[in-house]
Amino acid sequence: MFNRTLKETIDRRILPRVQTPGQYIGGELNAVVKDHRSLRGKLCLAYPDLYTIGMSCHGLQVLYTVMNRRADWACERAFTPMPDMQTLLRAERLPLFSLETFTPLGQFDVLGFTLQHELTYTNVLSMLDLAGVPLRAEERGIRHPLVIAGGPGALNPEPMAPFIDLFVLGDGEYSLPEVCDVWLQERQAAAGQEHSNIFDARSQTLLAWPAPASQAERWQRAAALGRAAARLPFVYVPRFYQPQYSAAGRALAVLPLCDDVPRQIRCARVSDLDSVPIPTAPVVPFVECVQDRMTIEIMRGCPHRCRFCQSTVAKRPVRFRKVETIVQAALEVYRNTGYNEISLLSLSSSDYPHFDQLVRRLQEVFRPLHVAVSLPSLRINEQLRYVGELLTTERHSGLTLAPEAALDDMRRRLGKRIRNDDLLEGCRRAMEHGFSRVKLYFMCGLPGERTEDIDGIIDLCEQIAQLGREVRGRPATVVANVSNFVPKPHTPYQWYPMQRREYFLEAHRRLRRRKRIRSVELRCHDVESSLLEGVLSRGDRRVGDAIELAYRRGARLDAWREHFNADLWWQALRDAGVDVEQVLHQSYRLADPLPWDHVTLYHDRCYLERQWHDSAAMQPHSPTAGA
């Protein structure tokens, strides 16, 4: 069912007045449009960022493919509109809509948000508000869409708990369809009527928002959610859990309010990655996006144990796809899209067990088609020495590597088993095969960091730049991206405090003063954004009040520097009573409860404690955290 009334209104009154209207018109190559009248349910994947970011998200394409392979469900897409579009939708009293059928978001059965980054949280509220869906989960009734969320942000669900009905933890390929089916069943049971009778009223006025929920409808919704939570072990329904706090205001346990829901929520896991469908006909955007290429996930998880990395813990166990599965899928994507570059996706592509065979096979098939192969996540080890021989510089001439720290002994403490000798030799070999640019990712503010670790970042970059002079006659271009370390939940470093603002600012100044070679470009991440990321990733449920307060005061698109207002956020946190000093800068003892302890990943807390001890034993001075 295509909402022509809304589409014609948008086309006539809105699109001539907004920037980049191509992101709002739908109809892209490989977009799936289904007749709603023939379906059991409707899901909208609501990505809380701009179209150019969301359309580059591989996970969105995977879930879109999984759900649309089903004949009884439609899966559509919506993204956070740009500020001009948001203003016009509100001024014209028009709801946010899906791109496939221009259906208002409030008319879907399920709205699925992916929380890829903490600074997108106010965008979730913005999209709900534009859809006419109450921001707070407790204010929704049985007719409102089920609001679910997954992704990295769900690993500490508490800051967003007031706004999300149900968090889906872990791999979504199997869990999302089950959640959608269970919700339809339980909603119908709670309402005590047939689906067609109670929900057809939503489409009587095609431009209207859902009506406010009565108390009876709220009770019906709570009953449906309760039964869904009892049936699904990998979901977290915050309304059935109560946070506990100490007299000093520290978060303690998050305890279930009833016996039907689990005390510990475990993540869903896909055991056989090769059995999971690859999106071989991804939607091809009309406008230029961050990642304009075909993406093939070759493995999930990482065999290494970097102690700072949340993804390493969250994505375990390590699973692989077969070489021919990857090659055939890439060929099909090429035929369905016409992309001229393949990106091999994983946490560490060169740790794929058949790496050489895979790259040579891809080159054999795609070089005659003038399709390049890129590896965005290379492990720095002895294999890096040979990457330059395997890859072509056609359409790109750079390597992207993540040493994280500049000195070998710091990396050993981080659990990152790489050496500068391998890094330098790999860069030399790549330059000998035509590569002229190296992008490196570092962190500052790591536990036990010394002055020489900061200085080493510039020293290493300039050493690589000089390799270019030795090999090619002129310095290589080296881009050093330096982020500010945030001790993320579910990592061995979760007990450490985050460094203070003054520390990061002085580290950035030191880096800039030390740089001597012009071909080395230094990019330091914004300190205020990093500190806010720390609050939103490490906070408890009370942070939700600050998120809503910041949103109502105008916080939007906070991951974009031109829209981010740090002062607005710090004032909102103060007014909401959030103790930022406690959340960010006070260390935890190993025995202390953490706000996210009710979520269990592949490794339990005992594993993280052992890793913390192993790292602490390597530090030159006894650490203050975790004592």
Task: Report the relative pairing of strands 437-444 and 241-245 from DSSP bridges.
Answer: unpaired
Domain parsing of the chain, residue ranges? 4-259, 273-542+578-618
- Cα separation, 60 vs 73, in Å, equals 16
Q: Quick one: fold of 273-542+578-618?
A: pyruvate-formate lyase- activating enzyme (3.80.30)
Nearest CA among 76, 235, 258, 266 for reference residue 161: 235
Q: Are 587 and 497 in contact (CB under 8 A)?
A: yes
Q: How high is the pLDDT of residue 426?
A: 86
Distance from the Cα of residue 19 to its chain's centroid: 26
Q: How high is the pLDDT of residue 618?
A: 85
The residues, any chain, with a CB within 8 Å of residue 548's CB and separated by 6 or more, are: 125, 135, 136, 162, 163
Q: What is the DSSP letter of 86?
A: H
Nearest CA among 356, 323, 337, 350 for reference residue 295: 337
Describe the crossing of helices 121-131 and 543-552 by its angle, rounded to 10 degrees: 60
**pTM for the model:** 0.94
- Cα separation, 456 vs 397, in Å, equals 25
- Cα separation, 37 vs 55, in Å, equals 27
CB atoms within 10 A of CB 327: 18
Q: How high is the pLDDT of residue 280?
A: 95
CA distances from 111 to 78, 108, 144, 166, 206 (A): 10, 7, 10, 11, 18
- Taking only the tens place, the pLDDT of each residue in 441-489 is 999 999 999 999 999 999 999 999 999 999 989 999 999 999 999 999 9
Q: How high is the pLDDT of residue 383?
A: 57
Place of tokens 């329904």: 237
Q: How high is the pLDDT of residue 212?
A: 83
Q: How high is the pLDDT of residue 207?
A: 52
The residues, any chain, with a CB within 8 Å of residue 38's CB and separated by 6 or more, are: none
Q: How high is the pLDDT of residue 623?
A: 52
Dihedral pair phi/psi, residue 246, rounded to 5°: -80, 170
pLDDT along the chain (627 residues), means of 10: 88 96 96 95 98 96 96 97 97 96 97 97 98 96 96 96 97 95 94 52 50 89 94 95 91 91 92 90 94 92 88 89 96 95 86 89 93 74 57 63 93 90 88 89 96 97 95 94 96 95 98 95 98 97 98 97 97 97 92 93 86 86 49
> What DSSP element (H or E) covers 506?
helix 501-514
Q: How high is the pLDDT of residue 386?
A: 54
CATH for 4-259? 3.40.50.2300
Q: How high is the pLDDT of residue 277?
A: 85
Task: Report H helices in 69-212.
Answer: 83-91, 121-131, 172-191, 195-199
